[in-house]
Amino acid sequence: MRVLTAGSRESFSVVHAAYGGADAVLHVPVAGGLIDRLDADGPDVVLVAPEVLESGADELVTALRSKRPGVALGLWAPPDDLMQTMALVTGLEGVLAPGSSPDEVARVLHAWAARRRAMVERGPASPRAVLIACGDESVVEPATGSLLSIAGFDVARTDSARQALQLLRTRDVHVLLTDPRVPELNGTSLIRAAEAYDPGIVAVIRTPAQDLRQAIGHVREAASEFIIHPEPNLDLVELVEAAWDMWAGERASKALSRTKEIARAGVAANRMRKANAELEAANRRLEALAHLDPLTEQLNRRGLQRALTAETHRAARAGGSLAAVLLDLDDFGTVNSRFGHAVGDQVLREVADRVAEVLRPTDVFGRIGGDEFLVLLPDSGAQDGLVVAERLRGAMTTSVPVGSFAVATTGSAGFAVLRRSAEGLEQVLEATREGLRRAKDGGKNRVAGSSEDAATIDALRRGEGLTAVGLPIVDLAHDRVIALELLSRAAGTPLPRPSEFFPAARAAGALVEVDLACLRTCLTEADRRDAEVVHLNLFPATVFATPAADLVELLGLPDRSVCLDLSEQHVARAPGALAKALRPLRAAGARVALDDLGFGHRSLDALLVMEPDVVKLHTRHVHGAAGDPDAERFLGRLIQAVEALDGELIAEGLERPEDRDLLLRFGVKSGQGRLFGEPA
């Protein structure tokens, strides 16, 4: 629904809030622009401020009604008696207060629009409708209504102008029987108000002879047909019959002609609208078919190219990244040659459906051709992109039922983070096919990146290009360094940060080797700095794959004071087995820290099973907690849970003094973060 407001824009702010968009609420500052906006924008409701009506309410309402009879007109003003009377007199739907809530505004405006549409669509009622508005029973006797009903009229009676206008708003009236002294309004005002609802209404003014001159003066300015009746002995039923004949005569003839004209135009317009709608639907279907692969009903090359163009432009504007995964079924040629192309097509459809099920909402999926598929991963770098690539590869490892047997399938995947200049589909395929070839050469059913990434991982396996930086752990009360966490870096390589080279190492099957190389680099740096207490990050896979005696020797236990930091998100997969594997290291003097507590949803399991010596609170629960009641409450509960298990606490991600003060109030003694300097 569209609303057109007229008056001071500031006063209509709640109307904008009710509809929540510039397209739904239009505005003109003065009455002069209303008529033009009716044609240009086709609103359903026009809402005017009182000052807009001051320059000529009757003329404005008449012009609006003649231009767009189906538009509901309302007054935006405090709903006092004066404003209510103004709305009734000018033929508006009603008064809506500026203090109304957005929900109330929307409800009222929708009701006004529905009522006006119903009145326009309903047209004149078939019964001959008469409204008697007379407060003096000596002028129009009560029995008159009964006599008119017997004569076949649909009669309603009120004793005030206000009630008469309320009835005119909700029902069709052909003849208005009134007197010049009707309470609350004079004859002219009532007739003009009646015209606002139906310009063709016929007014019968019943008046004593002594008031005849006054009655004539009341109606001279009115546009309606009218009959003045000063003779008390004339039958009012005959008079109303005459008024009905006036209404039904020439007006009915013109209305019928106009109705036929509108009907013919409406039929033609409906046919045109239907044809246009069918054409648009056909065009949409053709457009969709042009971008869809008919076998899998996923995007085809053309559809992928269009999506790629849109995503690269969006990434360039937002400064984001875009990755891609090229998927290929392993040994699919054997399926076609052994079972036939019909079975091969069924396998392709099934695999495409299963891949589509594991996509994220923003991912783009399509078929390149044959058994190759491409997935675009918006806002994805090496770390999360490789995780998605592995999930996609897993979806291709399935068994497709075909009649009485099943076809087992696996797939390989090539992964690449795209350059900003890669707007062409062939560029993307070139970037990902290198990884796909490496995955196939490496034994199939795996994910691989580019040769550049592979060369980087091979170098990191040997410890080449690795460096270490230190992040101090500080006594919060005294700003004194009490330990040093060492973090690995691969500066000068295409994968400089752990969040980039560890996922690539995992995909290449080299996670343990790279992790051990990082551990050696960090230990060398610890010796160089002569650090007394050292925190070292380690993957659980490295603990499982490396003999405990070798790790004890590498760590220099028990001579070196070492704390092994293991991330909760990795520990949560098998906390019991990991706790068992760590026992020899703890017996040799190593301490164990559960890192990133609060990252996932199994923190309590990891805490209870691992029984860590140190617990590190995740940044998300520390940074910005001070001043946020909910965050403070959650952080307090998390700290209480750890203290109940007698664990030492270290807060990560400290950047603000107020967060440090909050942690001290909670009894946390140690922390680390940019508040104490960058990793160096």
**DSSP summary character for residue 495:** S
Q: Dihedral through CA 493, CA 498, CA 500, CA 506, nearest 10? A: 110
> End-to-end distance of the chain based on CA atoms, in angstroms?
60
Distance CA 16, CA 105 (A): 10
* Contact (Cβ atoms closer than 8 angstroms) between residue 493 and residue 487: no
Sign of the dihedral through C-alpha 293, 297, 303, 305: negative
Three-class DSSP category at 467: strand
Give me the catalytic one of 198, 363, 371, 596: 371
Distance CA 365, CA 303 (A): 10
Q: What size, in residues, is the chain? A: 680
Rounded to 10 deg, the angle between the 511-529 and 451-461 helix axes is 50
Alpha-carbon separation of residue 629 from 282, 599, 619, 634, 637 (angstroms): 56, 20, 17, 9, 12
Distance CA 207, CA 191 (A): 15
Return the percent helix, strand and coil in the chain, to nearest 5.
50, 20, 30
Which residue bears the tokens 């207490």? 533
- What would you report as the CA-atom Rg of the chain, rounded to the nearest whole angstrom? 41
Sign of the dihedral through C-alpha 476, 478, 479, 484: negative
**Cβ neighbourhood burial of 39 (10 Å; 0-12, 13-18, 19+):** exposed
Give the number of C-alpha atoms closer than 13 A to the C-alpha of residue 510, restricted to the C-beta side: 22
Q: Please, which residues have CB within 8 angstroms of residue 485's CB and are 6 or more apart in sequence? A: 470, 471, 472, 473, 534, 535, 536, 537, 565, 672
Residue 481: how many CB atoms within 10 A of its CB? 16
Closest CA to 618 of 592, 649, 648, 586: 649
Closest CA to 140 of 164, 157, 153, 128: 157
Would you state the structure tokens that stand for residue 153, as one six-digit string? 């009229």
Distance CA 41, CA 35 (A): 10
Say whether 245 is catalytic: no
Would you state the structure tokens that stand for residue 447, as one six-digit string? 């994910």
Sheet containing strand 364-369, edge to edge, reads 364-369, 372-378, 322-329, 411-417, 447-448
Three-class DSSP category at 435: helix
Closest CA to 154 of 130, 181, 189: 130
* Contact (Cβ atoms closer than 8 angstroms) between residue 526 and residue 485: no
* Contact (Cβ atoms closer than 8 angstroms) between residue 222 and residue 185: no
Would you state the structure tokens that stand for residue 82, as one six-digit string? 């004066």
Sign of the dihedral through C-alpha 96, 100, 106, 107: negative
Residue by residue, what is the 3-state secondary structure of 292-354? ECCCCCCECHHHHHHHHHHHHHHHHHHCCCEEEEEEEECCHHHHHHHHCHHHHHHHHHHHHHH
Q: Cite the active site residues.
A: 371
